[in-house]
Structure 1
């Protein structure tokens, strides 16, 4: 927790203590009934806090991940609660989840995603280097036989496998530039082809 969060927590605890103290003093004649009401309000408060804490998980479950509108030739992707856009592409018939990264030049796969699509250690020679926010990392250039996003299919697509640790694979501008138009509006990423 940051110092700001500790300050907020301390404020809420102090505010709660003042409210409880006032409530007990003002209802000291019927203390049993007051404690019952206090317990009820405490449970309501805990329920609201739990709902707020779980809201991102609930919204992520309900919210559609990506919408393909093939007759209009577009794909719409809602912004995730963390502020990023995620796309699931079928690479060599295996679904791989990517974070859309307009700061990345190419498709960059994690080692685990590379093995999921059938690439082996023999397919990867780490001789190239990429500059990341964490410094330089070695990468292995590879070719992807087929990349599909909804109805859009591309073959023989260039990509790189990152030798370092990554949270997830990146979908960079080399692939995104295959679309005629890319726009971000109303919390949605819209790709037109």
Structure 2
């Protein structure tokens, strides 16, 4: 019987939508709202009938069951409704506890949280190989350590170290090269000029201006680095 009533509600709603579907509103309600109410009403009838059948004479338990399932439905609807906001919040939280992790926001911006030491550690990739950088706006080029270059498929032994560079360890020589792809978050730049430091002279890769100058913009906002690719 309950199934017939629920089915009748849905059929009635369909009939109303077919007859008055050309109208923007039906009895002051939008057609999509009428469809939603019909669906919820049918589900409610079935749920109420199930509660009556299984908890006959045990109304306290019945009310507890109804409250539980109503809470579950509300929670699921809320999670679905705010799924994008929740995903953004989870990414931001991960950026807090895992500096270097890049967060791609809804507008295409790439965001990185400041490291506890004060610098911006950025997880990227060179020719598909995961590579961690330190933001260095004072570096005229992207600079790779000898080890990072080797992991990315560049043989340091075949390079010519003719470019003088300044590092935290002092002055050293570096070799010019070109990276096929350099990726940070959803931003990928191709054929990026870079330098490879002589072995043992550099402990960290530097994300310098040969990558940064290709962006639409980049800025530091509080403890956040925000990168915007030209494609965004």
Q: TM-score range by the shorter chain?
A: 0.5 to 0.7
Q: Please name the residue that 2:223 is paired with.
A: 187
TM-score, length of structure 1 as denominator length = 0.63
Cα distance 1:179–1:166, how it changes in 2: closer, same or farther (>3 A)?
A: same
Per the TM alignment, residue 129 of structure 1 is displaced from its structure 2 partner at its CA by 1.3
Q: Please name the residue that 1:136 is paired with.
A: 171
Distance 2:126 2:156 in 1: 18
Query: Where in structure 2 are the equivalents of 1:124-163 lying within 5 Å?
Result: 124-132=159-167, 134-163=169-198
In the comparison of the two structures, how many residue pairs are matched?
134
| Higher-strand-fraction structure | 1
Q: Please name the residue that 2:74 is paired with.
A: none
Distance 1:134 1:121 in 2: 20
Query: Which of 82, 87, 92 is equivalent to 2:117?
Result: 82
Q: Could you list the runs of 4 or more consecutive aligned residues of structure 1 that deviate by over 6 angstroms after TM superposition?
A: none
Cα distance 1:150–1:63, how it changes in 2: closer, same or farther (>3 A)?
A: closer
CA contact (8 A) 2:113 2:223 kept: yes
Per the TM alignment, residue 166 of structure 1 is displaced from its structure 2 partner at its CA by 1.7
Q: Tell me, what secondary structure is at the counterpart of 2:118? A: coil
Bigger relative CO (Cα 8 Å, ≥ 6 apart): 1
Q: Tell me, what secondary structure is at the counterpart of 1:175? A: helix
Cα distance 1:151–1:122, how it changes in 2: closer, same or farther (>3 A)?
A: same
2:108 paired with 1:67: no
Per the TM alignment, residue 175 of structure 1 is displaced from its structure 2 partner at its CA by 0.9
Q: Tell me, what secondary structure is at the counterpart of 1:113? A: helix
Unaligned runs of at least 5 residues, structure 1? 1-58
Cα distance 1:106–1:66, how it changes in 2: closer, same or farther (>3 A)?
A: same
Alpha-carbon deviations, 1:50-78, whole Å to 9, x = none? xxxxxxxxx99834622112x41211100
Distance 1:189 1:102 in 2: 12
Q: Tell me, what secondary structure is at the counterpart of 1:182? A: strand
Per the TM alignment, residue 133 of structure 1 is displaced from its structure 2 partner at its CA by 5.0
Q: Which moved more, 1:107-116 or 1:152-161?
A: 152-161
The alignment yields a C-alpha RMSD, in angstroms, of 2.1
Cα distance 1:184–1:61, how it changes in 2: closer, same or farther (>3 A)?
A: closer
Query: Where in structure 2 are the equivalents of 1:32-181 lying within 5 Å?
Result: 62-63=97-98, 65-69=101-105, 71-132=106-167, 134-163=169-198, 164-181=200-217
Q: Please name the residue that 1:10 is paired with.
A: none
Per the TM alignment, residue 141 of structure 1 is displaced from its structure 2 partner at its CA by 0.3
Structure number, greater radius of gyration: 2
Distance 2:154 2:142 in 1: 15
CA contact (8 A) 2:167 2:202 kept: no
